[in-house]
Structure 1
Amino acid sequence: MDKVKQRKVGAALSYINIIAKNLVNFMYVPFLLHFVGQADYGLFQMTNSVMTSLTLLSMGFSSAYVRFYMVYKVKKQSQAGIKKLNALYLLIFSVISILALLVGALLVLNVNGLFSRSLTASQLNLTRSLMVIMVLNIALAFISSVFDANITVNQQFTFQQTRQLMQTFLVPLIVVPLILFGVGVISIVITQLIVTFSFLLININYCLRKLNMRFDFHQLPVHLLKELTLFSFFIFLNQVVDLVNNNMPNFILGMFQGAKMVATFAIAVQVKNMFFMLSTSLSNVFIPRVNELVSSGSEKGVLTDLMIKVGRVQMSLLLFVMGGFIVVGRYFINIWAGPQNREAYTLIILMTLPVIIPLSQNVGIEIQKAMNKHVFRSIFYVIFAVINIVITVLGSINFGLIGAAMGYVVSILCANGVAMNWYYHAKMGLDMKRYWHQTLGVTIPFVISTSILLLVQHFIVVNSLVRFLLFGIIYVVLYALIYLTAATNTYEKELVTGMINRFR
């Protein structure tokens, strides 16, 4: 299968994967809340947030692999050089895996010191057990990331997305019977560990047999380490910021407010993460293409065109889903997560609306990395990550859930929104005036359809399944009509026409 077809099939499969993940989550979360309880579910999410911090140990080396591999390839470097690069990366991530085990062990030993203020003795024991298994899972995931990066750089998106689709279904299929038999929330992390190990073996087999990935540990290109480390360090800073923005509120709420409030916040984050998946699923398939264009010296206008092309599609999709949630989401949260989590509706809107702008510009981030101009972004984001932590701590203590979200909102608006658009235009040479001139039009269907249906809800409240479905259908039809008549360009009309023809 050629690269263009791989990108198309990969993008299609990624959206199928997103739909599958969210369908599974929408059934899985109420099941967990019912059978393991609000408190234990909150413990799982809080522990997961803490242990996810170990992923920072990768320090951005995965992104660097894609860039340096493409540089080797474009400059017609020998296969011997790529083998040595593969070997260097395997050694780097083996060391990182060992570091993850050591740091994870320190966290496990200090559970009491971290959470004794808000958790009971039995909850502390459960948290400790969850952490031990999660540490092992993360250590295996680091080894797997070497082979994941090789699959990505070779643009094998069909295999990659098919494997992820299998993972989406495997975990709940194993976990649900275990919980019904009384194993409890610990069954989730045990299953994740088994699945991670299984797919590590599948990845290794695919890379060695299908992609002919080879390793040469003789005379490793140690001179690359300095350049790799410098490039990766600033990506590492970005990862720190992402971790702070996405996981720190759970940790802080766990310290000051207890596990039940963490559960509500975690539900909001799960829905918010759906928007991240919708965005990155499309931009990820363009990562090798972006690196190829930059490495071959393509003009800035070509890169701007790609950013506009992908950005319009991403923004249209994100606003479509956001508008639908605003219209019927309050009732959905009530029946899905229960009335005890009704505040999640407000949290989701508060945290997701500001992030739509940077999410629709994810290709810009990949262009930035490929051009090795991500230093400003990293430093600026770190400054706002500190501001985020301060606002989150003060907000959590004084205002609970809504207060915990305010640091994230301020950080996204100022750093990811305003500052990055200025940098793209002024320092990277991307024409952001043209970007916004050609992109703003896709907001029209969102503004009109959402405003009309919110106005109607002043007279007809969505408080039953029939009204939920009716408002949902009206929203979809109204949005589609406005989008097709007032917001699409030629390329997007061809996309829509192509999809319609496939279903005929």
Structure 2
Amino acid sequence: MKQRKFGAALSYINIIAKNLVNFLYTPFLLRFVGQSSYGLFQMTNSVMLSLSLLSMGFSSAYVKFYMSYKVKNDMKSIKKLNALYLIIFLFVSVLSLIIGILLVLNTDNLFGKTLNTAELQLTRSLMIIMVLDIAITFISTVFDSNITVNEQFIFQQSRQLFQTFLIPILCIPMVLMGVGVLSISITSITVTTLFLILNMSYCIRKLNMQFDFQNLPVQLFKELGAFSFFIFLNQVVDLVNNNAPNFILGMFRGAQLVATFSIAVQIKNMFFMLSTSLSSIFIPRVNELVNLKKSREVLTNLMIKVGRIQMTILFFVLGGFIVVGKYFVRLWAGPQNMEAYMLIILMVLPAIIPLSQNIGIEIQRALNKHIFRSVVYIIFALLNVVITVIGSVKIGLIGAAIGYVVSILGANGVLMNWYYAKKMHLNMKRYWIETLKVTFPFIFTTTTLMLVQYFSGSVNSMPQFFEFGVVYVLIYSVLYFVVTANSYEKSLLVGILKK
């Protein structure tokens, strides 16, 4: 319990730190490496992230199988699971290197139509470093998953907080020395290697992680593969939804629009971090409840409890962005990237549905009922790609986001909520009755302040930015605490304020 509480607190501190760093770091990079080079980095990163699919969903499988053995106190099986998992990810790491080399050799074929010779050479260099980085990350995943399943959230979040500050500390001097956008990739692989060593040391010395490579059960590998395959399909969908627009814009519109879209994605990813940072802490707990055969009512209660908190935080941040975000984007990313403001709102608003239901995904996986979700997501991912290609060619930036919105509303908003209710027997009617209550402060506060701006003029100075920001926080906070917060949430807030 202590690990979950402090881990949750550290995760939000980490998110605040990451975003503060990004808000300072991104304008610096745009200024010193240039809009085009930054766009090239984001485009290349989107391509190379496709290699993350090679993990095949084994990370989630590890948590499920580890918890099932832990409940039975079967340490022998845990050692064999660790060994099998290490072998799998060593193989995946080597495979990622091979595929990465093939991508590097085909750089001209992928981007030759929209990039000049110098840009192609830079892209090639970025890809080489990135593929090495990804290969090292796969090995680190083995130990990171062990830290998660043992609920060592304080160490995990503290390490990530250190990483947040270490990356710009290492990167900025290299950029100033003229290394350019390559500095980002060089810094990333340096930090990845450092934390691989740190993770290994912590798992083996502190958590006594052990491996038994003798007589590894073939049946366990089959079970891992069967469970992981459909999580792999989910990862394909996430990759398509999050990275396909960058790749498609790079192919049809060039690097500059990719930079603008990437800025919007950075803000959108902040909302994903706000959601997953809390739900990830409950992954071992969900698997424990399922293995202990707890009722659907208990699982629904957990989903509501976490969902209300997630939705409150997400709408709080989104409302603040709607009120003062236009000025923030102009100040942060420059007037050439103003379209990012509408892109962010367009992508984040429907995404709050799945982001507030992340615990539901973990319940699905723990119950081994994630096949339907995978199939539905694959269908909508393909639809997303088709709409994104047409939208990018015909409309541009906004068109590149339309496919994502359709995918989120159709797959998450409609079909997944139907599945939760009808096939998993979670009480989704009660879920929505309880969670929608927290939208009142968002609707009232955002609408009121936007009407004020409509009649008095938009935010266009730093004093106005702070004035509207402070007023928004005060009104939202009072309405939430007085009108919508339940007894558990009030006690949680009071406890945090006292500490």
Question: Structure 1 length as normaliser, TM-score?
Answer: 0.98
Q: Offset of 1:140 from its aligned partner? A: 0.3
Partner of 2:485: 488
Matched letter for residue 76 of structure 1: N
Match of 1:127 among 120, 123, 128: 123
Give the RMSD, CA atoms, in angstroms.
0.5
Helix, strand or coil at the partner of 2:455: coil
Partner of 1:101: 97
Partner of 2:43: 46
Partner of 2:421: 425
Q: Offset of 1:379 from its aligned partner? A: 0.2
Q: Distance in 2 between matches of 1:81 and 1:319?
A: 43
Match of 2:393 among 370, 391, 397: 397
Matched letter for residue 478 of structure 1: I
Is residue 58 from structure 1 mapped to residue 58 from structure 2 by the alignment? no
Q: Offset of 1:365 from its aligned partner? A: 0.3
Partner of 2:32: 35
Partner of 1:118: 114
Structure 1, gaps ≥5 residues long: none
Q: Offset of 1:462 from its aligned partner? A: 0.6
Partner of 1:318: 314
Partner of 2:72: 75
Is residue 203 from structure 1 mapped to residue 171 from structure 2 by the alignment? no
Partner of 1:441: 437
Q: Offset of 1:458 from its aligned partner? A: 1.0
Match of 2:373 among 364, 374, 377: 377
Partner of 1:453: 449
Partner of 1:408: 404
Helix, strand or coil at the partner of 2:215: coil
Helix, strand or coil at the partner of 2:166: helix
Matched letter for residue 158 of structure 1: I
String of CA shifts for 1:446-503, please: whole Å, max 9, x gaps. 000000000000122211111111000110011011111111000000011111111x
Is residue 274 from structure 1 mapped to residue 265 from structure 2 by the alignment? no
Q: Distance in 1 between matches of 2:483 and 2:222?
A: 51
Identity of aligned residues (%): 68
Matched letter for residue 341 of structure 1: N
Displacement over 6 Å in runs of 4+: none
Equivalenced residue count is 498
Q: Offset of 1:76 from its aligned partner? A: 2.5
The answer to whether the Cα contact below 8 Å between 1:85 and 1:221 also exists between their aligned partners in 2 is: no
Partner of 1:349: 345
Q: Distance in 2 between matches of 1:417 and 1:159?
A: 35
Partner of 2:17: 20
Q: Distance in 1 between matches of 2:128 and 2:438?
A: 47
Q: Distance in 2 between matches of 1:280 and 1:424?
A: 19
Q: Distance in 2 between matches of 1:479 and 1:81?
A: 50
Q: Distance in 2 between matches of 1:64 and 1:74?
A: 16
Matched letter for residue 482 of structure 1: L
Match of 1:288 among 268, 271, 284: 284
Partner of 1:464: 461
Is residue 9 from structure 1 mapped to residue 6 from structure 2 by the alignment? yes
Match of 2:293 among 281, 291, 297: 297
String of CA shifts for 1:312-349, please: whole Å, max 9, x gaps. 00000000000000000000000000000000000000
Is residue 170 from structure 1 mapped to residue 169 from structure 2 by the alignment? no
The answer to whether the Cα contact below 8 Å between 1:21 and 1:168 also exists between their aligned partners in 2 is: yes
Helix, strand or coil at the partner of 1:117: coil
The answer to whether the Cα contact below 8 Å between 1:268 and 1:347 also exists between their aligned partners in 2 is: yes
Matched letter for residue 137 of structure 1: D
Q: Distance in 1 between matches of 2:351 and 2:397?
A: 18
Structure 2, gaps ≥5 residues long: none
String of CA shifts for 1:151-209, please: whole Å, max 9, x gaps. 00000000000010111111100100110111101011011101100100000000000
Partner of 1:259: 255
Partner of 1:181: 177
Matched letter for residue 6 of structure 1: Q
Matched letter for residue 316 of structure 1: T
Helix, strand or coil at the partner of 1:223: helix
Matched letter for residue 248 of structure 1: A
String of CA shifts for 1:426-450, please: whole Å, max 9, x gaps. 0001000011111110000000000
Helix, strand or coil at the partner of 1:430: coil
Partner of 2:238: 242
Helix, strand or coil at the partner of 1:219: coil
The answer to whether the Cα contact below 8 Å between 1:111 and 1:124 also exists between their aligned partners in 2 is: yes
Q: Distance in 1 between matches of 2:313 and 2:207?
A: 33
Q: Distance in 2 between matches of 1:221 and 1:70?
A: 18
The answer to whether the Cα contact below 8 Å between 1:324 and 1:472 also exists between their aligned partners in 2 is: yes
Matched letter for residue 332 of structure 1: F
Q: Distance in 1 between matches of 2:297 and 2:76?
A: 35
String of CA shifts for 1:284-339, please: whole Å, max 9, x gaps. 00000000000110000000000000000000000000000000000000000000
Partner of 1:157: 153
Partner of 2:496: 499
Helix, strand or coil at the partner of 2:369: coil
Q: Distance in 1 between matches of 2:406 and 2:129?
A: 35
